[in-house]
Amino acid sequence: MDDAHEGPAAGRAHSRSGTRETILSTATRLIQESGVRALTLDKVAAACGIAPSALTHHFASKDELLTALIARRDEVQEARTVTRDMPGREVLRAWVGLSAHNVQDRHMVELFAMVSVAAGAEDHPAHDFFAARYVALTEMLEGSFAQVKESGGLRDGVDPGVAAQQIVALTDGLQVQWMLDPSVDMPAILRAHLDDQLVDPLGR
């Protein structure tokens, strides 16, 4: 196909993608500076140097923007720590590592906690995202636990499916406790929980 014919459409798509990324990056920075409650669409638009109507073309509401920010954070963290070829035991170690990383970004943890609770309402923009997210996470972790079990690395009586749900629930609960009391050592508690399920300690 003629490149000149593809050019304008491809350029517009790139421009839309670039604007969306600018909005997400700017909103992340504003949250890290002032917290999620202080964020408004008008503030994001002003910081991006675009009209509010241009921002709402990409994100019709603050809830939609916050949902996109969480999805973007998940993509970045997964790309940083987890690969498809990673052994199950290494996936579990990476999970603990993510909690250590999250300690460095309190405002994004607050964002996740706030939106995940609100997403319990079926009409919330993040409802379907979080429902799918928890299914994907538990399936991935169940597979990792199953792989460890196949190699004889799980203690007797530990069910991979139950263990996957436990570690996800423990992680979310620890984040809430940590926001109330920063002395809560999330990585250490997660590691201790996993060590209780593994034949050999996970280690650091």
pLDDT band, very low/low/confident/very high, at 74 (cuts 50, 70, 90)? confident
Give the residue with greater pLDDT, 6 vs 183.
Answer: 183
Topology adopted by domain 63-204: Tetracycline Repressor; domain 2 (1.10.357)
pLDDT band, very low/low/confident/very high, at 116 (cuts 50, 70, 90)? very high
Task: For residue 31, count CB atoms less than 10 angstroms from its CB and return exposed for 0-12, middle for 13-18, buried for 19 or more.
Answer: buried
Q: What is the rounded average pLDDT of the residues 1-6?
A: 48
Both tokens of 67, joined, read 């949902």
Q: What is the rounded average pLDDT of the residues 176-180?
A: 94
* Residue 198 β-bridge partners: 154
**CA distances for 146 relative to 94, 150, 180, angstroms:** 16, 6, 34
> Which pLDDT value is given to residue 203?
74
> Which pLDDT value is given to residue 12?
44
Domain boundaries, the chain: 1-60, 63-204
Both tokens of 185, joined, read 């050592």
DSSP string, 88-109: HHHHHHHHHHHHHHHTT-HHHH
Q: Which of 166, 159, 164, 169 is nearest to 142 (CA)?
A: 164
Q: What's the chain's length in residues?
A: 204
Q: What is the rounded average pLDDT of the residues 71-89?
A: 76
Helix (H) or strand (E) holding 152: none
Contact between 167 and 96 (Cβ < 8 Å):
no
Phi, psi dihedral angles at 36 (to 5 degrees): -70, -30
Topology adopted by domain 1-60: Arc Repressor Mutant, subunit A (1.10.10)
Q: Give per-residue pLDDT as tens, 4-49.
A: 444 544 444 435 668 889 999 999 999 989 889 899 999 999 999 9
- Is pLDDT at 104 greater than 90 in this prediction? no
Q: Give per-residue pLDDT as tens, 117-163.
A: 999 999 999 999 999 999 999 999 999 999 999 999 999 999 999 99
> Which pLDDT value is given to residue 16?
63
pLDDT band, very low/low/confident/very high, at 77 (cuts 50, 70, 90)? confident
1-60 and 63-204: same fold? no
- Is pLDDT at 93 greater than 80 in this prediction? yes
Q: What is the pTM of this model?
A: 0.81
Q: Which of 52, 102, 50, 46 is nearest to 73 (CA)?
A: 102
Alpha-carbon gap, residue 51 to 73, rounded angstroms: 25
